[in-house]
Each structure stands twice: as C-alpha cells, then as structure tokens.
Amino acid sequence: MDYKSAFKTLILALASSSFALTAQAQWQWIDKDGHKVFSDRAPPVDTPAKNIIKQPLPRGGVAAPVANFSAASAPAPAASAPATKASELKLAGKDSELEAKKKQAETEEAAKKKAEEEKQAKLKEENCSRAQKALITMQSGIRVSTTNAKGEREFMDDASRAAEIKRLQGIADSDCKK
C-alpha cells in the first residue's frame, strides 16, 4: 500500500468517526422521575441545571460548565423504590431558585389583589358618599332641576323625584355596607 492510499484511508476513517460522534446523543440529564436520559436535543426547560450531566460543545469547541453530577448521587428510579420514597424524590428534586421565583410571584399577585380590593373599597366609599348627599338633597323638598335632551331646564315632578329617591336609596344600600 502506498503512502497516498494510506493517507486517503486515514482521512476517510477520521471523517466517518467524526460523523459517528456527531450522530450520537450529545445531551445527558436526569429527568424528574430519576431516570437518565440521552438525547440529541436539549432537556426540557424545567430541568434544573444540576441534573444536566453532559451537554454538547459550543461551536467554538470550548466545553461549557456542567454541574458536578455522579451516578452515585443520582436518585434511584421511582419504579424500584417503595411508595414512601417516591414522595421524597419529588421533594428532593425541587429547585430553590424556582421556588423563590414562585414565592415572589405569589407575593406580587397577593399585593396586586390587595391593591385592587382597596381601590374597589375606595370607589364604593365615594359612591356611598355621593348617593347619601344626593338622597339628602332629594328628600329635603327643595326644587330640583334637570336638563333634558334639548338642553332645556326642567323641574322634577313628584313621580320623577320618588323614582330618583328610590334609585339613590338602592345605591346607598349596596355601597354603604361596612
């Protein structure tokens, strides 16, 4: 075998081995059930970084940092563990950063809800005050005028005054409850 054919064989061998390497699974992680997963795709977004065992090299060829994770520290598969161990696995797999974000979101949601309740209470208080003042005016017996659709001033008769008193009393009853 001459030098050129040996060189071509070597190049073909290297090319096929590099092709085989790229075709293999490049990601390894422990899923939420404690099973080791091999894939050519990234793990789900909810997989904590500490459970990622291996990830592919970036295009520059420099290895990205991966959490130290050994097979000995991997949780046992839930299928082989007793039923009481399954709940312990779920608790052990919680991500403290995720829990902190979840708690912060709940706190913000509670603050928004409280602010909305305070706003509604303030609006009810203002409506109550207006209704009580208007009710006092209507029940005082003074002449009350309104403006019609043509822009003309009209004085309320007894029937329209009674209807307005009834409407204002309903608003006062609903908004003035403490």
Of the pLDDT bands very low, low, confident and very high (cuts 50, 70, 90), residue 16 is: low
Strand segments (E) across 120-174: 145-147, 153-155
Which pair of structure tokens corresponds to residue 8?
A: 């071509």
Give the HSE-up count for residue 73: Cα atoms under 13 Å, Cβ half-sphere. 11
Give the HSE-up count for residue 126: Cα atoms under 13 Å, Cβ half-sphere. 6
Cα dihedral 56, 60, 63, 65 sign: negative
Amino acid in position 58: P
Q: CA 102: distance to chain centroid?
A: 8
Nearest of 85, 66, 67 to residue 76 by alpha carbon = 85
Quick one: pLDDT at residue 17? 59
Quick one: pLDDT at residue 80? 47
Which pair of structure tokens corresponds to residue 177?
A: 């409850």
The string of pLDDT tens digits covering residues 108-166 is 999 999 999 999 999 999 999 999 999 999 898 888 888 999 999 999 898 999 999 99
Torsions phi, psi of 37, nearest 5?
A: -120, 135
User: For residue 106, what is the enclosing H or E element?
Assistant: helix 96-140
The string of pLDDT tens digits covering residues 98-117 is 889 999 999 999 999 999 99
Where along the chain do its domains lie? Answer: 3-93, 109-175
User: For residue 29, what is the enclosing H or E element?
Assistant: strand 27-30
Beta bridge partners of 52: 29
Torsions phi, psi of 99, nearest 5?
A: -65, -40
